[in-house]
Structure 1
């Protein structure tokens, strides 16, 4: 089965051999888009988060067959540079495994709310698990990213 979709701004086609193949598997194994990480494969950790038609989803739970004609943005295409820079600057990147999903979720949050409260941030990141940072540095990074994005033309 051939599935065509737009990934990070480029039209792509993936040949899948089973209709239940996950978007995560297709991105990583068939399209070489390895930014999204494969961890729990149950939608519990958030490391595989991508934007599907602008909404954050766990790509391990979405069948590629459902993505025909849709727009997928991975960490490569969804995250503005100020968000990435803020994570580095604030020490919000430790082992890095959860980072792609966190970055996508933060980009989505800041696209909707340019000045989120700590509660807003915690709610937006509730589906993303990090075992290394303790989350405070991540929250600091979101505030830093928000300030950086506020200074950029939109």
Structure 2
């Protein structure tokens, strides 16, 4: 099996890994770099459990090859610190088992940065790309709305 060394900018840090050219970014983040916040779910882009941020855009890491991420700025849930959205997820009980939570937080974080005045429709559209099988989406939407309305406190 042929592997190449690549360097990725993950959470503001340069990280090297030996990868096959067919390795997904999700696989490399989890198995080579030990960052397990992005979760394998469907592995075909439907569930959103593997959502990360690449150059300011939400991305499903199961759909991106690791070699495609070279030269890009990658942020995983481990790279978020003291994010009001994380606090709001706790306050609003916007999780149950927690498996999908990192993906929702990454997607919500991207939305709040890109559209600080997002309306209900934009919030629902953004969160549609993630699936939760344990809880309702109402609490997740409320957590995002709380951050957007500046009701959130850290």
Q: TM-score, normalised by structure 2?
A: 0.91
**Cross-structure match for 1:113:** 115
CA deviation profile, 1:3-28 (whole Å, cap 9, x unmatched): 11110011111111x20100000000
**Which one of the candidate residues 19, 22, 27 is aligned to 1:20?**
22
How far did residue 78 of structure 1 move?
Answer: 4.3
Q: What value does the CA root-mean-square deviation take over the aligned residues? A: 1.7
**Cross-structure match for 1:60:** 62
Structure 2 CA distance for partners of 1:79 and 1:131, relative to 1, 3 Å = farther
**Which one of the candidate residues 49, 68, 71 is aligned to 1:69?**
71
Structure 2 CA distance for partners of 1:136 and 1:79, relative to 1, 3 Å = farther
Structure 2 CA distance for partners of 1:79 and 1:148, relative to 1, 3 Å = farther
Structure 1 contact 106–125 (Cα < 8 Å) conserved: yes
Q: Secondary structure of the residue that 1:60 maps to in structure 2? A: helix
Q: How is 1:114-153 mapped onto 2 (pairs within 5 angstroms)?
A: 114-148=116-150
Give unmatched runs, 5+ long, in structure 1.
none
How far did residue 147 of structure 1 move?
Answer: 3.4
**Which one of the candidate residues 21, 38, 48 is aligned to 1:36?**
38
Q: Secondary structure of the residue that 1:50 maps to in structure 2? A: strand
Give unmatched runs, 5+ long, in structure 2.
none
Q: TM-score, normalised by structure 1?
A: 0.91
**Which one of the candidate residues 14, 28, 34 is aligned to 1:11?**
14
